[in-house]
Amino acid sequence: RTQKGSMKPVKKKKTEEPELEPLCCCEYIDRNGEKNHVAACLCDCQDLDEGCDRWITCKSLQPETCERIMDTISDRLRIPWLRGAKKVNISIIPPLVLLPVFLHVASWHFLLGVVVLTSLPVLALWYYYLTHRRKEQTLFFLSLGLFSLGYMYYVFLQEVVPRGRVGPVQLAVLTCGLFLILLALYRAKRNPGYLNPASSDRSLSSSQLELLNRKGQEKTKGFPGTDTSGSLNNRTAKDDPKGSSRMPAGSPTKAKEDWCAKCQLVRPARAWHCRICGICVRRMDHHCVWINSCVGESNHQAFILALLIFLLTSVYGITLTLDTICRDRSVFTALFYCPGVYANYSSALSFTCVWYSVIITAGMAYIFLIQLINISYNVTEREVQQALRQKTGRRLLCGLIVDTGLFG
């Protein structure tokens, strides 16, 4: 628009938006978009009040009410920080509190040690299947792993080193192993090879994209590689060992097979959509809860290296501890027969931590062995699980090895 008799355009006045007041260290914006305070974490929580009333009156709680209570608690659990309180993930707290308590209780008596050390893996597996079924990300296992490393090292410094059996060189080697584990974990937790929609093949026409999106959301029966997340995959790995396209990029058949309706892209061979991370990963092996990330093309080597360094460091630490608290006995004998170890609380705590480390080390050794077998057969863990579900793989050595027949 222009004013009458003038060629200059009329400038519209910009509406000045009210500036938001800066947050203090104890204030935050809650999930409802309202300003709240850390001190008011227990105020105005109708779901929590209702839950307490029903618990006092011995009435059952609805699952929806429990979920709302947990969402409210996770939203209000914050710590004061500059420019607003920071949210704390509630899943990292249980390992920090329960692990020292359980290990100290297990040090009181041999039978208590057996009960506690048996129940810990059962509880961890139960929580794993609970979160895995819901397809939710959790920091519980990452927190448990990191805190276990730190706490075992702390007990070693406080209870084992003062006895004088561990030299400076041995302590330095164990400390270097710990730092190498953390470095390898940091490298393994980085980008596993996420597929960026902007860098994928966008040569499909708009009509093809609309058709693929509609078919990706429907329950198809004609393709055996249908994924429950809405993506389709029916690739023949032998025809494309290098990951290149078997058909032209604009081919509807190729796009229909490799199209991911969630990420809106055409996936290369052996890539897969992770329903927990919500993104496609190149040569996806599996989603590892211990690093809270996927293991894919870019971080698989770092993941294997982290497992190897952990196994060597853990075995070395276990050997030093048993040699200190159970003298004149071999490591294997001291692990099962160490008389008088529960007479001293310091020795009992060290012995309990040794057995806890043995359980964790055995689990990681199994994962490491499975990874080596999969690498030798040139398959990923996801391809192994898919072959077992579709009954196209052959079990060898009592099921320890699964030959998918895809990459001979």
Give the closest residue to 166 by CA, choosing from 319, 312, 311, 315: 319
Contact 268, 240 (CB under 8 A): no
Pair 268, 165: CB distance under 8 Å: no
Burial of 258 per CB tally in 10 Å (0-12, 13-18, 19+) = buried
* Active-site residue, selected from the candidate residues 260, 277, 288, 294: 288
Q: How far apart are alpha carbons 64 and 369 in whole angstroms?
A: 41
Pairing mode, strands 293-295 and 394-396: unpaired
Q: What share of the chain is helix, strand, coil (3-state, %, to 5)?
A: 50, 10, 40
Q: DSSP H helical segments within 195-344, as ranges? A: 206-217, 252-258, 300-325, 331-336
* Whether the Cβ atoms of residue 269 and residue 244 lie closer than 8 Å to each other: yes
CA atoms within 13 A on the CB side of 173: 12
| Tokens of residue 113, six digits | 């040690």
**Which of 355, 365, 357 is closest to 308 using CA atoms?**
365
Instruction: Give, as one character, the DSSP assignment of residue 194.
Output: B
Separation between Cα atoms, residue 333 and residue 314, nearest integer Å:
18
263 as an active site residue: the answer is no
Closest Cα partner for 383 from 270, 290, 298?
270
Sign of CA dihedral 88, 94, 95, 98: positive
Place of tokens 């709680």: 61
The per-residue DSSP string of 288-309 comes to: ETTTTEEE-TTTHHHHHHHHHH
What amino acid positions are annotated as catalytic residues?
Answer: 288
